[in-house]
Structure 1
Amino acid sequence: MLKSLLIENYALIEKLDISFDDGLTIITGETGAGKSILLGALGLILGQRADTKVLYDQKRKCIIEGTFSIENLGIEKLFAENELDYDSIAIFRREINPQGKSRAFINDTPVNLNVMKDIAERLIDIHSQHQNLLVGTSVFRYNIIDAFAGISQQVAEYRKEFEKLSQLRKKLSGLRESEKQTRSELDYLNFQYDELFKAQLSADEFAEIESELEILNHASEIKMNLEKADFLLQNNQENVLSLLSEVIALFRSLEKFSPQYAELYKRLLSSEIEIKDLGREIVAGKEDVSADPARAQELQQRYDLLQKLLHKHAVSDMEELISLRDEFREKIDGFESLENEIQVLQSECDLFEKKLTEIASKISSERKNAIPALEEQISSILKELGMPNGRFRVRQSQSHQLHINGNDDFNFLFSANLGTEPQELTKIASGGELSRLMLAMKSVVSLRNLLPTIIFDEIDTGVSGEIGFRMGAILGKISRNMQVISITHLPQVAARGSRHFIVYKETKDNYTKTLVKKIDDKNRVFEIAKMLGGENPSESVLQTAEELIQKQSIHKN
């Protein structure tokens, strides 16, 4: 339960430190006094977002700190999962500095808002004024039915699994879109790849073709020059080799006279060997060179094909062309891999969906079994709240596809009068009827939900008199099992409380601030009298207020 709430530098609150007890706590105050500010501050330690507009003094940070008793709530595992120290007392704290930076702590350990919110949802339920409007939303309907059926945790686990399925479906959809786009390009990719593959590309081929074509196109000139070189080297009377032989003979006789001549002699011998080798290669080259028009045509056609492919694909050399061919192959292989991935993912989705369908079916069955008792108990409480002919019904139907809440769709129906078939309650229920319906729902769910604290913010909107008295009785009944804090404008409800706080404004030195104080029995009579008869209640109104408190006290017992 909520044991205390510390608020510093928030909205119109300079500093407040409020202690709470179990049972029914009442909070009253004039309109605009700042009752909603308390809920706003509490919302911050329950994980709601905030900004610097909430700062009372823009130069100081805002601190909200809530102390909760969490013994026997079975949330030790939740603390362990988030690496938080567990104790019977938990302190939730939010800090907002003037620059707008927000920090959250649980037991002095920094946490993100999602963690704070997840844990806080196990500790407290706040029914705000606008929640009467939520009664027509699907989220509210599922929450009421699942809480009453005691399957909220099962549904939460289902939702986590459904989110995983949704992610798989999203991924599958993305892959199918990629497949669709790639398929439209596949024929083009296959054509381009086949053309390059059949061309049997080689990185050095282009240079080799150019070289061979150059020789073939100048075969006559090359052959003539090689023959002339052969003639000069070794085939005429005064050829290079014969002249060199004479020089070698001269140095053979000179080598004995000087190391220098001996060295020259060796070099001349080496030159003779080299020139003889050159001669043999020239002869061989001369024999290899011949005009071959057919070969030249074949090479020219190959050369033209390669030039065409280079130009077509806007690349500058064979390496780039080969790289492009391999790229086409990778895309084609990628498409085949994509098809396999889609098949595998589709099978995974099918299995996941089958599993979730079974879980959703069990959840649906639990809901169906709980609905008759829910209808009966809410209708029974409506009778206590002055609606003897009030009937509440739940219409359950099956959806064709799984969704975040299973495979059920629900509608809440209501009739306040005999002879009138229940209809969608948002279409026919008045403000006062909605308030009573909401209290009835919260009442039956609170016993199943086992949250330690529930806060009602003007749940009694639109009702008065005897109905208000009965609403107070219902709140009192709920408070036997959990801590109840009720912000109310009804004296009949206020008189039911075990303790009573008033919220008021105080203006000093041109500054207005909101204050809260706990009032004793005497001041409580006066406060309730003010709620009954205005700012200056008469003796008779004071008497009525005291009788109202006594009446509620009798009914407590």
Structure 2
Amino acid sequence: MLRQLSISNYALIDSAELVLKEGFTAITGETGAGKSIMLGALSLILGQRSDTSAIRDKTQKCVVEAHFYLNGYHLEQMFEEADVDYDVETVIRREILPSGKSRAFINDTPVTLPFLKDLSQKLIDIHSQHQNLLLGDGLFQLNVVDIVANNKDILQEYQQKYQVLRELERDREEIMQLNNQQKADRDYWDFQFNQLQSAELQAGEQELVEQEAEQLSHVEEIKLALANAGVLLNEHEFPLVDGLHQVVNEIKKISNFLSGGEELLSRLESVYIELKDIADEVSVKASELEFDPVRLQRLQDRLNLIYELQQKHQKDSIGELLELKDDLESKLFSLDSFDEKLRKLDETIAKEKKIVGNMASQLSQSRKEVFDKIERTITNQLHELGMPHARFSVEHELLKEFTRSGADEIRFLFSANKSGVLADIPKVASGGELSRLMLCIKTLLSSAKGLPTIIFDEIDTGVSGEIADKMGRIMQQMGNSIQVISITHLPQIAGKGQHHFKVFKSEESDRTVSHIRLLSNEERIREIAGMLSGAKLSDAAIHNAKDLLKN
């Protein structure tokens, strides 16, 4: 439950503190006094986005702090998973800095807004007037049924399985689209692959072919050069090989007594051997090398094919062309094996769909089991709230397709009149009837959820007199099991509160300031009397106020 709320430097509030207790608490005040400001500050504690326009003094930070008593609500694991210290007396603080930056703390540990929101949903339910519009929303209605049926765990498990199924179905759609697109490209891929396959390209081939073609293109020049070299080495008037051989013989004569002679001889002999070997190789090459126009043409044709393929596919080497061929082969294989992959995927989808279907059936059955309880509880409360002929019904229809919420479509139907036809709530309910319907639903939800605190923000809109009195009694009864706080403009409801706060404003130093304080018994009488008769308190209003409080 909410034990204390402190607000500083927020909107019209300089500083305010509410010490709250168990049971039913009423909050009243004139229009514009700042009741909605208090809820705005509390919404920061519940993880709503901050706004620097709410800071009263732009040079100071705004701080909102709430103290909660958490005993018995089994939130220890949630705190542990978020690495936040758990305390039965937990303090949540939200700060808005003048720069616009916002910070949130739980027991002085910084936390994220998503965690703050998750936690706050387990602590407080705030009903504001616009929530009455949710009565016509299918998801809200389905959520009501699930809360009453205590379907949280099975719904969470269903949604996990449903997500798996949806991802598999999306995968199937994607591979079907890809396959259809690839089928359109198949003939082109086939042509490209067959062209590369028939080329029988070999890694490193291009360099060898280019080298041989270059040699054959210059064969006459090469033969002439080799012939000249051969003459100089062996057939010239003074052959180099023979001349060097003579030099070796001359040095050999003196190598024994010439300083360094043996080393010099060894070097000359090595040069002679190398030169003789070169002369032999030149002779062999000269004899082997012949102009072969057929071979040259074949090499040039091969190079032309390689160059053409490289230009066509915008590749720089045979290696890249071979990679392209492998990629095309992989795509063609994927197309050929598509039917088998699709069959296996369909089997998996069918298996998951069966699981999802079974869980959806469990959800449907669980929901159906509480329809009668919801209809009976809300109808009986509507009768108590001055609508003796009101009828409330839950209409159910099974959907043909699974949704994230299951396979059920829920509609709340309502009729306020004895002869009226049951219809969707927004079509037939007046403002006051909407308020009473929402109070009945919130009463039902608060008992099913086990929430520590529920806050009603003028849920009594459109009602008065005896109906307001009965609405107050319902809130009073709710206060026996949970903490109920009602911001109200009706004396009949305010009079039912065990505790009563008043919000008011004053003019201080040319500025308006909102205040809130707990009223004493005497102050409550005057406040409620004022709500009955206006600014001028009459004896009758005082008497009526005492009766309201007494009752």
Q: TM-score, normalised by structure 2?
A: 0.92
2 CA distance for matches of 1:367 and 1:297?
A: 85
Q: Secondary structure, in 3 states, of the residue corresponding to 2:314?
A: coil
2 CA distance for matches of 1:146 and 1:263?
A: 105
Count matched residues: 551
Q: Once structures 1 and 2 are overlaid, which stretch shifts more, 264-273 or 375-384?
A: 264-273
Letter in 2 for 1:304: N
Offset of residue 154 of structure 1: 3.3
Indicate the residue corresponding to 2:455 in structure 1: 455
RMSD: 2.7
Letter in 2 for 1:210: E
Consecutive unaligned residues of structure 2, counting only runs of 5 or more, are none
Q: Does 1:99 align with 2:99?
A: yes
Offset of residue 422 of structure 1: 0.6
Q: Secondary structure, in 3 states, of the residue corresponding to 2:200?
A: coil
2 CA distance for matches of 1:179 and 1:103?
A: 51
Q: Once structures 1 and 2 are overlaid, which stretch shifts more, 196-205 or 411-420?
A: 196-205
Indicate the residue corresponding to 1:510 in structure 2: 510
Q: Secondary structure, in 3 states, of the residue corresponding to 1:361?
A: helix
- Distance change >3 Å, CA 262–CA 47, structure 1 → 2: closer
Spell out the pairing of 1:287-436 with structure 2 (5 A cutoff). Answer: 287-325=287-325, 328=328, 349-436=349-436
Q: Does 1:151 align with 2:151?
A: yes
Offset of residue 381 of structure 1: 0.8
Indicate the residue corresponding to 1:19 in structure 2: 19
Indicate the residue corresponding to 2:80 in structure 1: 80
Letter in 1 for 2:119: I
Letter in 2 for 1:41: A
Offset of residue 157 of structure 1: 4.4
Indicate the residue corresponding to 1:131 in structure 2: 131
2 CA distance for matches of 1:428 and 1:494?
A: 29
Indicate the residue corresponding to 1:555 in structure 2: none
2 CA distance for matches of 1:160 and 1:4?
A: 38
- Distance change >3 Å, CA 191–CA 542, structure 1 → 2: same
Q: Secondary structure, in 3 states, of the residue corresponding to 1:95?
A: strand
Q: Deviations over 1:21-60 (max 9, x none)?
A: 1111000111111111111111111111112111111111
Q: Once structures 1 and 2 are overlaid, which stretch shifts more, 13-22 or 79-88?
A: 79-88
Indicate the residue corresponding to 2:215 in structure 1: 215
Offset of residue 207 of structure 1: 2.7
1 CA distance for matches of 2:154 and 2:349?
A: 21
2 CA distance for matches of 1:211 and 1:488?
A: 98
Letter in 2 for 1:134: L
Letter in 2 for 1:35: K
Q: Once structures 1 and 2 are overlaid, which stretch shifts more, 397-406 or 307-316?
A: 307-316
Offset of residue 68 of structure 1: 1.1
2 CA distance for matches of 1:344 and 1:112?
A: 43
1 CA distance for matches of 2:344 and 2:71?
A: 47
Indicate the residue corresponding to 1:275 in structure 2: 275
Offset of residue 317 of structure 1: 4.1
Letter in 1 for 2:86: Y
- Distance change >3 Å, CA 120–CA 154, structure 1 → 2: farther
Indicate the residue corresponding to 1:476 in structure 2: 476
1 CA distance for matches of 2:34 and 2:143?
A: 30
- Distance change >3 Å, CA 168–CA 61, structure 1 → 2: farther
Indicate the residue corresponding to 1:528 in structure 2: 528
2 CA distance for matches of 1:340 and 1:15?
A: 71
Q: TM-score, normalised by structure 1?
A: 0.91
Consecutive unaligned residues of structure 1, counting only runs of 5 or more, are 553-557
Letter in 2 for 1:377: T
Q: Once structures 1 and 2 are overlaid, which stretch shifts more, 503-512 or 233-242?
A: 233-242
Contact 1:143/1:152 (<8 A) preserved: no
- Distance change >3 Å, CA 58–CA 148, structure 1 → 2: same
Offset of residue 255 of structure 1: 3.9
- Distance change >3 Å, CA 334–CA 95, structure 1 → 2: farther
Contact 1:129/1:459 (<8 A) preserved: yes
Offset of residue 430 of structure 1: 0.5
- Distance change >3 Å, CA 310–CA 106, structure 1 → 2: same
1 CA distance for matches of 2:74 and 2:393?
A: 33
